[in-house]
Chain A
Amino acid sequence: EAGVAQSPRYKIIEKRQSVAFWCNPISGHATLYWYQQILGQGPKLLIQFQNNGVVDDSQLPKDRFSAERLKGVDSTLKIQPAKLEDSAVYLCASSLVDRGASEQYFGPGTRLTVT
């Protein structure tokens, strides 16, 4: 079974530029998550989708971050404009069902450096 795919793996941009990340979850997984992991910290949830609807985006900086999950499968996360403090690894995860003890499967992440 293929895992969660993410691209690109690495991205370097200048501040005020825009960037987009792509995620393809495990086939059949209804729930998709985007996390931000700043160096030396644990991942922090940015947004959670159930199929193509948003379940939780309370920690998404909506003035610059946006995400969508068209057709309830792939998802994109966009930052526009980027700031220096956005430098982090962006992790995508998916789970089969939206229950408290469901295992989340993580992709390899996209490492973003903003200069």
Chain B
Amino acid sequence: GNSVTQMEGPVTLSEEAFLTINCTYTATGYPSLFWYVQYPGEGLQLLLKATKADDKGSNKGFEATYRKETTSFHLEKGSVQVSDSAVYFCALSDVIKAAGNKLTFGGGTRVLVKP
């Protein structure tokens, strides 16, 4: 079955540091890949997505590239801010699956950015 593995946290960084969160997946078919973010006290929200191999998703300074050859979708940001402190979830959706848009999530990575 489908699965997503992401690096465990917490990840603690100083402001303006470079952030990378690793995500790898196992899937049948041709999945779409997502990063969701959960800020403290808020619900999950979509950060970025990529729907096919070599696509790059980007939003709010974050980027992730869909790498089919390494089955990876690592999240990066060049200069983090305190406001980026949150839990980040990698997820996939198998577009061929007859049952539709079921998301399979990784375990989440907590990021704490200190001033």
Interface residues in chain A, defined as those with a beta carbon under 8 Å from any beta carbon in chain B? 3-4, 31, 33, 40-45, 48, 50, 55-56, 58, 91, 93, 95, 98-109
Contacts and interface: CB of A to CB of B under 8 A. Distances in A.
Q: Is the interface of A mostly helix, strand, loop or mixed?
A: loop
A11 B73 CA distance: 36
A76 B114 CA distance: 40
Contacts of B95: 99-101
B9 to A, nearest CB: 10
Given A98-B100, A106-B36, 18 more contacts: A4-B43, A31-B100, A41-B108, A42-B4, A42-B107, A42-B108, A43-B44, A44-B105, A48-B99, A48-B100, A48-B101, A56-B99, A56-B102, A100-B95, A101-B95, A104-B46, A108-B42, A109-B43
Contact of A42 (B42, B89, B94): B89
Interface string B66-91: 00000000000000000000000101
Nearest to A54: B99
Contact of A101 (B44, B49, B89): B49
Contact of B101 (A3, A91, A98, A108): A98
Interface of B: 4, 31-32, 36, 42-46, 49, 51, 89, 91, 93-97, 99-108
The 6 closest A-B pairs by CB, nearest first: A100-B95, A42-B105, A106-B44, A56-B99, A101-B32, A98-B100
B102 A43 contact: no
B65 to A, nearest CB: 16
